[in-house]
Amino acid sequence: MRIAMIGSGYVGLVSGACFAQFGHDVVCIDKEEGKIARLRKGEMPIYEPGLDKLVADNVKAERLSFSTKLGDAVANADAVFIAVGTPTRRGDGHADLSYVYAAAAEVADAIRGYTVVVTKSTVPVGTGREVARIIRETQPSAEFDVCSNPEFLREGAAIEDFMKPDRVVIGVESQRARDVMAGIYRPLNLIQTPMVFTNIETAEVTKYAGNAFLATKITFINEIADLCEKVGADVHDVARGIGLDGRIGRKFLHPGPGFGGSCFPKDTLALAYTAREVNAPQTIVEQVIEVNNARKKRMARKVIDFCGGSVKDLTVGVLGLTFKPNTDDMRDAPSLDIVPALQSAGAKLQAFDPEGMSEAGKLLKGINFTKTAYEAAFEADVLVVITEWHEFRGLDPRRIKQVMRQPRIVDLRNIFNPEEMRGLGFTYEGVGRPQPRN
C-alpha cells in the first residue's frame, strides 16, 4: 500500500515508520521545513526508544521518505492519514481542530483516484464527518472515503505498542475502505490482533472513552492512596489485592503525583466539553480532571509539610521532570506545578532528568540543572522524586545519604523501599504507604 502521513509529530512519525516496517510505501509530511530536513539527516525531533533505528532502516530500504509537500504523496496514495496536532483550544478546553481541517482541505485538492482519508489524530466525535464534508466541498469529484483509526500508543513504548497493539479500532463505512484498511493492518493478523470495525462516530468515542477510563483509574488509586496514608494501609498491596480481580486488572493502578502528558489532560477536557455540548455531561470525567489538577498542586504542599511546614531557604533536589519516564515530553508534567510552588515557598531547586532537561529549561526558570542524579542530591535538604526513571531505582542510597545535607526523601512514585530507606537513616515518605508508628 502507498501511504501519505500528514503531520510528523509523535503519532505521525511513529505510525509512518511502523507502517513502513509493515512493508508499505510511506511518505511522512510536515509543514516545518527544519523538522523534515533533520529527519532526512536521520535526526529525530523527539526522544523515543528505537525510533531512530526504525526510521534509518526503512529509509535505507526506500520504504520511508520525508517531504514538506503533500501534493505528490497524496496523489499517489491509497490512504492518507491525518496525524496533525489537536491541542487544547485556549479559553474553553475543547480540542482545536484547525490543523485537522486545514489538512483536510489541502488533501482534498491533491486527491487523485480513489483514496481513503483516515483521521489518526485524537479527534472529537463528528470530526470524521466534517473532514468528509470539507473534502466534498473542496473537490466535489473526489473519489474517497473517510475513516477513523484512533491511535493508542504510549510515549516511551510507542513502537512496541504500535507493532503489538491490544487491538486496532477502525471506524469505516464502506467495504472498499474497509478492504484498504484491512490491507494496511494485514501484518497484525499474524499475531492475531483483534480488529474492531465500527462506524466512524463509534471509533471516535472509543478513543476518548479509553483514555478517560485510564485517567479515571489512575485518579481512583491516587485517592485511595490518600486514604491509605491516613489509616496506615499500603496502597501497593491494595492495588495488588484489587488488581488480581480480572474485572479490575492490575495495570494503571500506580499512585503518583497525578497524570500528565500530551493525551490524558487534553482528551479528558475535550471529552467533557463535547459531552456538555450534546447535553450528556460526563460528570465522572469532569471530577477526574478537577481531582487530578488539585492533586498536582497539592504535591508541593506535601513536600513542605514533610519539611516541617517550610522550605524557605532550603535546597530541594529533584529527580525527574518529564511527565513519565522514557520521554523528553514535559507537556502537563506534574513538575510544572510542583517546582514553581516550591520556588515561591522560598526553596532553591536543583534537578536532574535523563532526557527532559532541555525541554524543562524552556518551561521552568531559576533551577540549577545538574549532570547527574547524585549532583541533584548534593547538599540538598530534601530530595523529591517526581518521575520514576528506571535508572533512579539503581541509585546507591548510601551515596545519596552521604552527599545530602539532610537525608530526607519524598518519593512521589514509590521507587524506593520505605523500610530499607528508613533503615539507612533517611526520613522517608512515599505515596499511600504507612508511616512508621512511634
- As beta bridge partners, residue 67 has 29
Q: What is the closest distance, in whole angstroms, from the C-beta atom of residue 341 to ligand UDX in the complex?
A: 18
Q: Which of 19, 264, 369, 378 binds ligand UDX (CB under 6 A)?
A: 264
Question: CB of 251: closest distance to ligand UDX in angstroms?
Answer: 7
User: Of 182-190, 211-219, 230-238, 397-405, which segment contacts ligand UDX by CB under 6 A?
Assistant: 211-219
Which neighbouring-strand residues pair with 385? 319, 411
| Residue 407 annotated in ligand binding | no
CA distance 193 to 168: 7
DSSP string, 122-191: ---TTHHHHHHHHHHHH-TT--EEEEE----PPTTSHHHHHHS-S-EEEE--SHHHHHHHHHHTGGGGGG
Instruction: Select from 171, 256, 407, 430 the one that contacts ligand UDX (CB under 6 A).
Output: 256
Catalytic center residues: 263
Q: Is 154 in the site for ligand UDX (CB under 6 A)?
A: yes
Could you tell me which stretch among 60-68, 95-103, 254-262, 297-305 binds ligand UDX (CB under 6 A)? 254-262
For position 253 contacting ligand UDX by CB under 6 A, the verdict is yes
Number of residues that bind ligand UDX (CB under 6 A): 20
> Should residue 260 be labelled a site residue for ligand UDX when binding is judged by CB under 6 A?
yes
Type of residue found at 375? E
251 marked as part of a ligand binding site: no
Q: Which residue is nearest to ligand UDX (CB)?
A: 263
**Stretch in the footprint of ligand UDX (CB under 6 A) among 44-52, 79-87, 256-264, 290-298:** 256-264
Nearest distance from C-beta of residue 253 to ligand UDX, angstroms: 6
Starting at the earlier edge strand, list the strands of the sheet with 195-198.
64-67, 25-29, 2-6, 79-82, 115-119, 144-148, 168-171, 195-198
Residue with cell 498536582: 296
Sign of CA dihedral 184, 187, 191, 192: positive
Strand partners, 384: 318, 410
One residue of 115, 211, 315, 370 binding ligand UDX per CB under 6 A: 211
Is 263 a binding residue for ligand UDX by CB under 6 A? The answer is yes
* Comparison of 144 and 389: residue with beta carbon closer to ligand UDX: 389
Closer by beta carbon to ligand UDX, 24 or else 120: 120
Q: Give 261 or 418: the residue with its C-beta nearer to ligand UDX.
A: 261
Find out whether 286 and 215 touch, Cβ atoms under 8 Å.
Answer: no
- Tell me the closest approach of the beta carbon of residue 13 to ligand UDX, in angstroms: 14
Cell output for 287: 471530577
Rule CB under 6 A: say whether 47 interacts with ligand UDX.
no
Nearest to 255 by CA among 386, 435, 430, 431: 431
Among 19, 22, 152, 208, binds ligand UDX (CB under 6 A): 152
CB 147 within 8 A of CB 177: yes
- Does residue 121 interact with ligand UDX by CB under 6 A? no
In terms of CB distance, is 134 or 303 closer to ligand UDX?
Answer: 303
Q: Does residue number 293 form part of the binding site for ligand UDX (CB under 6 A)?
A: no
Nine-digit cell at 431? 505515596
Please report whether residue 208 would count as binding ligand UDX according to CB under 6 A: no
User: How near is the Cβ of 288 to ligand UDX at its closest, in Å?
Assistant: 12
What is the strand order of the sheet 408-411 is part of? 368-369, 348-352, 315-319, 382-385, 408-411, 427-429
261 lies in the site for ligand UDX, by CB under 6 A: yes
Among 99, 105, 117, residue whose Cα is nearest residue 4: 117
Q: How far apart are CA 80 and CA 96, in angstroms?
A: 21
Return the amino acid letter for 404. Answer: M
The nearest distance, CB 332 to ligand UDX, in angstroms, is 8
| 3-state helix/strand/coil string of 181-242 | HHHHCHHHHHHCCCEEEECHHHHHHHHHHHHHHHHHHHHHHHHHHHHHHHHCCCHHHHHHHH
Residues at the site binding ligand UDX, with contacts judged by CB under 6 A? 151-155, 211, 214, 218, 252-254, 256, 259-264, 323-324
* Residues flagged as binding site for NAD(+): 30, 35, 86, 122, 155, 266, 331
